[in-house]
Structure 1
């Protein structure tokens, strides 16, 4: 079989963040078609979109202002995640709104009359996010809430007199409240015991109810409704899987969301008046960013699968006609080479069943080299989506396995907490049992198994090669943590509290960190290592990479290091990605290639 270069896989573009214009005749979305995420616009009577924004930095999101054709966008510099807000007009001109580049700004929507926007920012203190509103005529900014915590504006109440706000307690626990703009008082709506999330909230048409997704007092996230006058909480749809991505129609009669069945999405439309549920068929993949058209007759969403990279699809609700409306990801050179995975399970050391996606190359034979890719988070989940470099590895003849080790989301609260703090290394041990499964059931060459991961997955790579060094023929760490102690000392101040809930704290767990941190066990590493990092990373400081690279170089261990000066925690620019993953592919070919 002919092999294709990594460039062809990385040149596959993506489409995201679809939003209908107020009249519904066109959709704005973000695509990296030019190599950098920009706003494009598709009219329903045209077959190809037009570019609307022309910036030198990535655009993170786009939304319309209420009762206006003006769009608001978010943009940072060098992928440093210090998002600023701008108005974008039809000529591609930008009007700066926040204009405080040293701070982060999270958008919270526009008022019903379109005259104000809301956002949160850590302007007052780097560790805390206060709430602001801004007049779009005068650009006047008013601080409306101050608190020593992590607060965000979710949206405006239909009356325009309240803001729906969120207090983030941990990554897995939050509360929602109504902030009265006239008085600054907050009525908290979701007071609860134990851990619970309350997400994707939407008001009813009269503003008296709140539809949302929650896992309050249960293992999985379901669909619920809160009566705002009494705070009464009741369920509308509960399943043995998480529900995700709730959206409401403009007339508030329909709810749309997805069911996450082991990393694969199933779409759902819930008719509130008829109390009926409608689903539609899609290939194996993931549905995100569902949005209704202004006339509520259509549903646009992003669909991403291993064989159908991220594009926007549209479902006509009356005819059930499903249509792909963007084709920015289409690449005839590779589309017939893309491979769907098999969903497998393996038993770990304590008999716990661990799910994983196993991709077999089309040329699979006995003793195949394997790349294990570990997701970040750790409160996250590997999904059945297109991944350019993993598909490239398959084309090169490698098998690929992407496990959701203990600690992953999507399998209930209990499963997510199985790797907390002192149980951290149990998830690393899961990887060793995956290796045994691959040898016994996946035709893996025991001498050619590599491990790769990014962010927290990078820690998993470093932990695996330091604590189980004999298993690995090669390792790739992308923006990974080499020491929880130094990571917590240097990560963004507002992020530290969130991470301590998962990893532990320096004050209470330093001794444990010293036992497990890869930086203290570099002498045990046997596998050659490749490491990549962006200099502007606000999440995992680049020192995490450079301290372990320096240690390995001092003892002449084979290590390759690529530092990107104009990237952050994510590599956004096309040429940088080509450089990164061409180098990774060459590294794998050198150490585990046939």
Structure 2
């Protein structure tokens, strides 16, 4: 059974008296509130489906839920005792953007299409303001007449535009294409944002809102992620993601003065909220489950407000790098078992434009208690280590990423007492693809494998994924008609006859990112070949598993599989 509650998306309401957070303590994700003075913690939402996100707007609360994980989020507005359905069309994805001029403005697109429609919802009426043929996002309000928007160039970079809500004109700001986030207006003439302009890491920039000229303010060799501007519109608190670990800094914009805060630095800041001289932080690390803390900016003291109790089993961890086949240093985290010939699991994260970070993971914790050491690498293609690193696995470079995992296996045997006869490989999403790639291209190395919502063939994935996602993912995986030979060559589905180890596959029927057909075709092909394979599919989940019953079921089966296969 689940031992720990997962918390996410910590926010504060307009009164600055209540913290809100999504948690799964009821068995699915619901919204809860915590009163800072009374310390009263209560469930706020009562939805049939999982709460995916929420916003405070027009004195009320806006919730986003989807149906069985299909990601086509519907928006419901609550104000006082009234409940108002903004959207109720399950054929569309809805992406909330901003409330301005008495209107809710958001984007939507059809589940099978590629046209993004800018919507205005006011006085009970829904109006299409404009439509765009490229994936688009609302960044926020720019002024009373304009919305700041982004449009995708590829799987990473975006161009930045101003949309005039009166004239319906979309104007290019002239800012370079790149990663762009954390936009905060300081005044009518200045704003802050983060980007990788000028070099490959996300740093803080000041924007002239009149001319769109920008100035780089920080020069970290790591990525700035969460940014909070305090009430004086000059003091900024932000998180630097250094080797995956969160480091908090305070920055004086006017005086260009940077100060590192003495806050926990061995894990991950999942959410960051500020009020007056207090920070409220949702935090976990590899050994400490998720909880919410109050940090006093004046005296540097920290107090836990609510969240999980400490884990009852001590866990030894470390992080380091290892040299891959071409000399590239690849970072990894390790849950260390101090024993000779330790059974070991390597877990590859999804994305691949994502990053494993030193946060609490209940599956890792349970495997550790069973005697396994767990290695979690950030192989080439991961974010967090510069834009150069992200691009090292694109298209025909895919096998280089697989070789990173092979080299990690050898490193664990030589330096961390991993039992070479009991090494498992597992991964979710793209990590599931990497798992299948490794057991087909390097079949002798693995005792067993677990593929969770993984890809078995890039060509079938791209053919079956919605049109709005196809081009973006093609920049990473390859384009049909251009990279066909390579995608056919490496496809795990085409090489399943080479698999030697048992495989357990987990998927779900409502996955819109990696269709269920990706796992089904792999399972059926292996059954035809009389391979040791099992498939578990969940009816009420999508790409993520949000119901704790399903998480428990998968974790229990996975651990039992490892134990059954491990040579004692």
Q: TM-score range by the shorter chain?
A: over 0.9
* Paired residues of 2:112 and 2:466 also in contact (CA < 8 A): no
Name the residue aligned to 2:457.
Answer: 483
State the Cα RMSD in Å: 1.7
Unpaired runs of at least 5, structure 1: 1-6
Q: Distance in 1 between matches of 2:56 and 2:243?
A: 33
Q: Distance in 2 between matches of 1:124 and 1:448?
A: 43
User: Structure 2 vs 1, CA of residues 133 and 271 (structure 1 numbering), >3 Å: closer, same or farther?
Assistant: farther
Per-residue deviation, 1:593: 5.6
Name the residue aligned to 2:561.
Answer: 587
Per-residue deviation, 1:162: 1.1
Q: Distance in 2 between matches of 1:504 and 1:249?
A: 43
User: Structure 2 vs 1, CA of residues 124 and 142 (structure 1 numbering), >3 Å: closer, same or farther?
Assistant: farther
2:132 is equivalent to residue 147 of structure 1: yes
* Between 435-444 and 298-307, the greater mean CA deviation after superposition: 298-307
* Paired residues of 2:263 and 2:300 also in contact (CA < 8 A): no
2:481 is equivalent to residue 507 of structure 1: yes
* Paired residues of 2:247 and 2:265 also in contact (CA < 8 A): no
* Between 246-255 and 349-358, the greater mean CA deviation after superposition: 246-255
2:39 to 39, 47, 55: 47
Name the residue aligned to 1:4.
Answer: none
Task: Map 1:74-223 to 2 at 5 A.
Answer: 74-89=64-79, 94-111=83-100, 115-123=102-110, 126-135=113-122, 138-157=123-142, 159-192=143-176, 196-204=178-186, 206-223=187-204
Per-residue deviation, 1:555: 1.8
Per-residue deviation, 1:310: 2.3
2:483 alignment partner, SS class = helix
Name the residue aligned to 1:559.
Answer: 533
Q: Distance in 2 between matches of 1:448 and 1:178?
A: 56
Name the residue aligned to 1:321.
Answer: 301
**Cα distance per residue 1:267-293 (max 9 Å; x no partner):** 112122443223232041111332322
User: Structure 2 vs 1, CA of residues 340 and 110 (structure 1 numbering), >3 Å: closer, same or farther?
Assistant: farther
* Paired residues of 2:423 and 2:448 also in contact (CA < 8 A): yes
Q: Distance in 2 between matches of 1:427 and 1:62?
A: 36
Per-residue deviation, 1:144: 2.5
Per-residue deviation, 1:139: 2.4
2:249 is equivalent to residue 287 of structure 1: no
Q: Distance in 2 between matches of 1:23 and 1:129?
A: 34
Per-residue deviation, 1:249: 2.3
1:55 alignment partner, SS class = coil
* Paired residues of 2:431 and 2:454 also in contact (CA < 8 A): yes
* Between 384-393 and 273-282, the greater mean CA deviation after superposition: 273-282
Per-residue deviation, 1:124: 9.8
Instruction: Calculate the TM-score normalised by the size of structure 2.
Output: 0.97
2:238 is equivalent to residue 257 of structure 1: yes
Name the residue aligned to 2:28.
Answer: 36
Per-residue deviation, 1:12: 0.6
1:301 alignment partner, SS class = strand
Per-residue deviation, 1:520: 0.5
Instruction: Calculate the TM-score normalised by the size of structure 1.
Output: 0.92
Q: Distance in 2 between matches of 1:120 and 1:250?
A: 30
Q: Distance in 2 between matches of 1:365 and 1:445?
A: 10
1:464 alignment partner, SS class = helix
Task: Map 1:93-492 to 2 at 5 A.
Answer: 94-111=83-100, 115-123=102-110, 126-135=113-122, 138-157=123-142, 159-192=143-176, 196-204=178-186, 206-278=187-259, 279-293=261-275, 296-327=276-307, 329-330=308-309, 335-361=311-337, 364-492=338-466
Q: Distance in 1 between matches of 2:225 and 2:510?
A: 31
Name the residue aligned to 1:549.
Answer: 523
1:18 alignment partner, SS class = strand
* Between 124-133 and 11-20, the greater mean CA deviation after superposition: 124-133
* Paired residues of 1:132 and 1:145 also in contact (CA < 8 A): yes
Per-residue deviation, 1:210: 2.3
User: Structure 2 vs 1, CA of residues 200 and 171 (structure 1 numbering), >3 Å: closer, same or farther?
Assistant: farther
2:332 alignment partner, SS class = strand
Per-residue deviation, 1:308: 2.1
Q: Distance in 2 between matches of 1:90 and 1:297?
A: 30
* Paired residues of 2:92 and 2:111 also in contact (CA < 8 A): no
1:521 alignment partner, SS class = helix
Name the residue aligned to 1:574.
Answer: 548
* Paired residues of 1:249 and 1:255 also in contact (CA < 8 A): yes
1:537 alignment partner, SS class = coil
Per-residue deviation, 1:125: 7.0
Query: Alignment length, in residue pairs?
Result: 567
Q: Distance in 2 between matches of 1:348 and 1:19?
A: 41
* Paired residues of 1:256 and 1:290 also in contact (CA < 8 A): no
2:306 alignment partner, SS class = coil
Per-residue deviation, 1:225: 1.3
User: Structure 2 vs 1, CA of residues 145 and 338 (structure 1 numbering), >3 Å: closer, same or farther?
Assistant: farther
Per-residue deviation, 1:338: 4.8
Name segments (4+ residues, structure 1) moved above 4 Å. none
* Paired residues of 1:78 and 1:566 also in contact (CA < 8 A): yes
Per-residue deviation, 1:177: 1.8
**Cα distance per residue 1:123-180 (max 9 Å; x no partner):** 4972122222222xx12223223211111112113x4221111112223101222211
Q: Distance in 2 between matches of 1:124 and 1:584?
A: 32
Name the residue aligned to 2:509.
Answer: 535
